[in-house]
Chain A
Amino acid sequence: MTTPLAMRTFHFKIYRYDPDKDAKPYMQDISVVCDPMDKKLLDAMVKLKAKDDSLSFRRSCREGVCGSDAMNINGKNGLACLTDLAAFPEGKPIVLRPLPGLPVVRDLIVDMTQFFKQYLSIKPYLVNDDNLPERERLQSPEDREELNGLYECIMCACCTTACPSFWWNPDKFVGPAGLLAAYRFIADTRDQATNERLDNLEDPYRLFRCHTIMNCVDVCPKGLNPTKAIGKIKEMLVQRAV
């Protein structure tokens, strides 16, 4: 005997724009019936796409590690795959928009070029010119722990596109994700480019446009704290100056 499943209908307002046919963006009203197996917003969206195959969004791992399905959900950036359907209040439509601050390619798909450009600008790779040992370099567990809270970034762009400083200066301000990555290498005892990395960021825009608004911390689906990392970089610049 199976007990009847509790079904629930979810109503959505979704930002739609296909430059191939739409003169301008519009909000689509659409609803879908979900069963108790549908736990996350992404589950509902997959059902929506089965209804209307033109609804466009990125998704892959559906477990919060690939960073594909970042979007603006009821006004706040987040991952569809980590957002509980049950937490949405009854009677109010779920409003989905693309991440703010980046050009829209189509529907919920944004052009992330500027985001990745900023990531690449911090030289996101380990720099160490020593002769390589035959085995692994040694690193103490304590030194390794310094990387916790930094290396786990999934580059979903929730943080950077929630940051007003990035909205105003996307070409000049590195943004929280890029700065978190910068500090990930600065904090790594194996990296030898700390000075160059600090030089690269010592600039009124690249680093210092962060005004500790902390939207980044508020939205990070991995619970990371870019503001803290940015603070540490600023501290190091001050220390270096004295």
Chain B
Amino acid sequence: MTYTVRKFDAVVVGAGGAGLRAALQLSESGLKTAVLTKVFPTRSHTVAAQGGVAASLGNSEEDNWHWHMYDTVKGSDWLGDQDAIEFMCRQANQAVVELEHYGMPFDRVDNGKIYQRPFGGHMSNFGEKPVRRSCAAADRTGHAMLHALYQRNVKVNTQFFVEWQALDLIRDADGEVLGVVAMDMETSEVVAFHAKATIFATGGAGRVYYSSTNAFINTGDGLGMAARAGIPLEDMEFWQFHPTGVAGAGVLITEGVRGEGGILRNADGERFMERYAPNAKDLASRDVVSRSMLTEINEGRGAGPYKDYVYLDLTHLDPQVILKRLPSIHEIGIQFAGVDCLKEYIPVVPTCHYQMGGIPTNRFGQVVVTKGDDLSSPVPGFYAAGECACASVHGANRLGTNSLLDLLVFGKSSGEAAVASIRENVKAHKPLPVDAIEKSLARLDRLNTQKDGSNVHETRVLMQRTMQKHAGVFRFSQLLKEGVDKILEVAQAVARTEIQDKSKVFNTARIEALELDNLIEVAKATMISAEARKESRGAHVRDDAHDTPETPDGRDDKNWLKHTLWHRDGNRLDYKPVQMKPLSVATIDLKKRTY
């Protein structure tokens, strides 16, 4: 059949922080670039980031990238690749300064430099004491950043395709990526975007869990597309549960609250983090704090009528500091918890927040797969950056403020790598395979004609509840095993979803069904990878991994210091080693992780 093909040098999918940063690189280099996004760029989920972006600017006290690197490796529980981590931490200052130059309204300290606050897991002098490393615009850093990046793209005339849903990756018989198939949501027209470079910046899939800080749009579209095109997904068992989601609502309360001096208390009013992390206390790494909170709740010291949350206490802070540095938190407390945090505690619970795993890439944002003996062979034409990618800088647990840094650094490096590749290779576009859009059309056709199928909403909720119960903060061998069977069952239901709305005009029922196709790939990858990893590391903690001298806190470096790769085809798993060798400094050696 005939269909519209639009040709570009490069196509970026997603217009959050990573996509916009990559697009700047491409647009400024004069290449013909399309940015596809399912929401208007400033509605992307980067907008919801609150507390800051990490960079060792040292504006308020001594700091350097090597300390930042150490903290990131330790935070990752040594699963992060040390070459990529060194690269990210060394690029951080420039990445943040660039944003300031673009006009981002950072808060300032008295000497006019960017304001920095302490954040969980960020320490000075290789783990000694908390350091001010998080560069912030009040508690609206993501909003200020996303708008500044969008505005800069306006300045350089980036071409946006707003409210276009990407459907599938176009990959030819040689394995090269030649663009994406996408649908104009307003008209349902399906178009092939033919490009020499395709950059995925599609964000995370936090909506795979029932209780999530994430936006509705965080449905792992890039991961689903990559998986369907035969690209494995890396380290998908590692999900960050943010310690402070508003109990019930799930809305995020930034770690910056604790950076400004807020503390967690149990029902007895005790500052319990002193027992779990005597040094860093409330500013320990997120996985550690979330587990401590749930231990308090599980042991009966939770607050509220059902004893199922703990308190975040800011009442001892100067109200002026709260209103100046944490104004949105004050609003969120009132809006979503019904409390005035100047006077009352905020009820909080660990809530799914961030996906450490994703599409495997190197530090240039090139998507890499195993090819013969090469465990990291770039897929020609394919790049990924931000939460959808796994570089891997976060390993088994991400530090707060490193996500905004990740999307800046790898958004830029993927853009640079794409520009270089397009410039090196000036020949015409490689022809599209004859069946370029067939798979997408078949999926749409199946959805339009499904009879007696499963309900999208109910199936999604079933998936989310299964994930929540079987692959949560604490993981149990038996629950994981059952979880695999249950998720595979849900996947059968997803394969036969039915929608009532068949309209061609802005059909959000169809979009939600297509998003569920992507979410279920993430759910399968997570459950199967988690069931298989028989150790505790970072955010993945299971009941049958015991604390022994050889396996401190259940971490088994002898057998499990390796990245998981889940393949959609046959739900096959394989593994690749962690890159322990940094670029210029000595390896940060394995040790027991304490805060």
Name A's B-contacting residues (CB within 8 A): 2-3, 18-21, 37, 39, 49-50, 52-54, 56-68, 82, 105-106, 109, 112, 116, 120, 124-126, 132, 134-141, 143-144, 147, 151-152, 154-155, 185, 188, 190-191
Contact = CB atoms under 8 A, between A and B. Distances in A.
Contact of B336 (A63, A141, A190): A63
B505 A105 contact: yes
B336 A39 contact: yes
14 contacts: A3-B305, A56-B506, A61-B43, A63-B335, A66-B45, A125-B102, A125-B154, A126-B102, A132-B101, A136-B57, A141-B107, A143-B108, A185-B103, A191-B103
A86 B13 CA distance: 39
Interface string B508-532: 1100100000000000000000000
- Of the candidates A50, A63, A67, A140, the one having the most CB atoms from chain B within 10 angstroms of its own CB is A63
A55 to B, nearest CB: 8
Interface in B105-135: 105-114
Contact of A155 (B42, B102, B499): B42
Nearest to A190: B103
Contacts of A125: 102-103, 151-152, 154-155
B457 interface: yes
Given A132-B101, A140-B108, A147-B105, A67 B503 contact: no
B111 A138 contact: yes
B113 A106 contact: no
A37 B248 contact: yes
Interface of B: 39-40, 42-45, 47-48, 57, 93, 96-97, 100-103, 105-114, 137, 140, 143-144, 147-148, 151-152, 154-155, 186, 215-217, 248-249, 251-252, 305-306, 328, 331-332, 335-336, 455-458, 499-501, 503-509, 512
A67 B43 contact: yes
A65 B503 contact: no
Contacts of A39: 248-249, 336
A51 to B, nearest CB: 9
B412 to A, nearest CB: 16
B155 A141 contact: no
Nearest to A54: B501
Given A59-B216, A124-B151, A141-B108, A68 B505 contact: no
A190 B108 CA distance: 13
A56 B101 CA distance: 39
Contact of B109 (A58, A63, A141): A141
B154 A60 contact: no
Given A139-B112, A141-B108, A144-B105, A66 B249 contact: no
Contacts of A112: 40
B218 to A, nearest CB: 9
B505 A20 contact: yes
Nearest to A39: B249
A116 to B, nearest CB: 8
A60 B215 CA distance: 5
A135 B97 contact: yes
Nearest to A52: B500
A64 B336 CA distance: 11
B151 A63 contact: no
B48 A61 contact: yes
Contacts of B100: 136-137
Residue among B57, B106, B112, B152 facing the most chain A CB atoms (10 A cut-off): B112
Contacts of B331: 64
A144 B144 CA distance: 13
Given A56-B506, A135-B97, A136-B114, A63 B332 contact: yes
A24 to B, nearest CB: 15
Given A140-B112, A154-B143, 6 more contacts: A2-B306, A37-B248, A60-B39, A106-B503, A137-B100, A141-B108
Given A20-B504, A63-B251, A68 B48 contact: no
Task: Find the residue from B103, B106, B147, B251 having the highest chain A CB count within 10 A.
Answer: B103
Contacts of A138: 108, 111-113
A155 B112 CA distance: 29
Q: Which 9 A-B pairs have the closest CB atoms?
A: A126-B103, A138-B112, A54-B501, A53-B509, A50-B457, A125-B151, A136-B100, A66-B43, A125-B155
A53 B248 contact: no
A141 B110 contact: yes
A9 to B, nearest CB: 19
Given A18-B505, A53-B500, A65 B113 contact: no
Given A56-B508, A105-B506, A136 B113 contact: yes
B593 to A, nearest CB: 32
A53 B42 CA distance: 26
B106 A136 contact: yes
Nearest to B501: A54
A62 B216 contact: yes
Nearest to A53: B509
Contacts of B106: 136, 144
A53 B497 CA distance: 13
A132 B99 CA distance: 12
B40 to A, nearest CB: 7
A141 B57 CA distance: 18
A3 B305 CA distance: 10
A45 to B, nearest CB: 11
A154 B328 CA distance: 13
B39 A68 contact: yes
A189 to B, nearest CB: 10
Given A53-B456, A125-B151, A64 B335 contact: yes
Contacts of B42: 66-67, 154-155
A57 B185 CA distance: 12
A66 B112 contact: no
A65 B48 contact: yes
A52 B501 CA distance: 9
Interface centre among B113, B147, B499 (most CB of A within 10 A): B147
Contact of B501 (A53, A137, A191): A53
Contacts of A109: 506
A65 B143 contact: yes
Contact of A82 (B140, B154, B335): B335
A188 B108 contact: no
Contact of B47 (A66, A124, A139, A143): A66
B503 A18 contact: yes
B505 A19 contact: yes
A185 B215 CA distance: 29
A106 B43 contact: no
Contacts of A151: 105, 137, 144, 147
Contacts of B251: 62-63
A60 B217 contact: yes
A220 to B, nearest CB: 13
A134 B97 CA distance: 8
A66 B48 contact: yes
B249 to A, nearest CB: 7
A60 B97 contact: no
Nearest to A151: B105
B111 A20 contact: no
B503 A53 contact: no
A65 B47 contact: yes
A62 B151 contact: no
B451 to A, nearest CB: 16
A185 B152 CA distance: 13
A134 B98 CA distance: 9
A60 B41 CA distance: 12
